[in-house]
Amino acid sequence: MDGRREGEELEVHVSRLAFAAAVVLATAAGRADAQRYRVLAASESGQRSVIEFRPCIPAEGSGCGAWIDREAVPDTISRLMPATGALFGPGDSVWIDHGAIRIRDAKRRTKIIQDRRGAATTLTLAPMRDYAFVVLQSPDMQSSTVVMVDLSTRSVIASCPMPGRVSAIAVVR
């Protein structure tokens, strides 16, 4: 074999490796962006805040949690409607019952999440239906906490305390 043929084979392998690396990077970038959720929280007075949620992913390091990203323009004309239940898969559902979050799977097993920060009042689902965002109203009714619930593990994974009383929430892009 001449050196030329070996060079061509090496070039093919390097090209395939570069293509595979580009695919992996593009996929990883998509996943990082997909792991960021923005939730619009509206108070009864019309004040709106955008909360950013980032679930903790052990392999990716820090940058996880929840915080108020920005205050949105107050709006008293259009109202977000509160919701107390949703379906997130074939036979799977999440709903609010007497201040608790209930999650039922297709096998009819139910998990109840009762949070000490307050009673659940309204919820919304992430677009991929893998997370629920729930408003917890404090017992004194002066503040709220918006929590992120992982529907696969059936647990609260992030929370953001809010000043005032949040009446409805919606996921925004």
41-67 pLDDT per residue, tens? 998 777 889 999 988 776 656 667 787
99-145 pLDDT per residue, tens? 999 999 989 999 999 999 999 999 999 999 999 999 999 988 789 99
Co-location of 112 and 151 in the same domain: yes
pTM score:
0.73
Q: Is 116 left (phi over 0), alpha (psi -120 to 50) or beta?
A: alpha
Range of the domain at 4: 1-34
β partners of residue 52: 38, 67
Co-location of 25 and 51 in the same domain: no
Co-location of 52 and 78 in the same domain: yes
Co-location of 42 and 121 in the same domain: yes
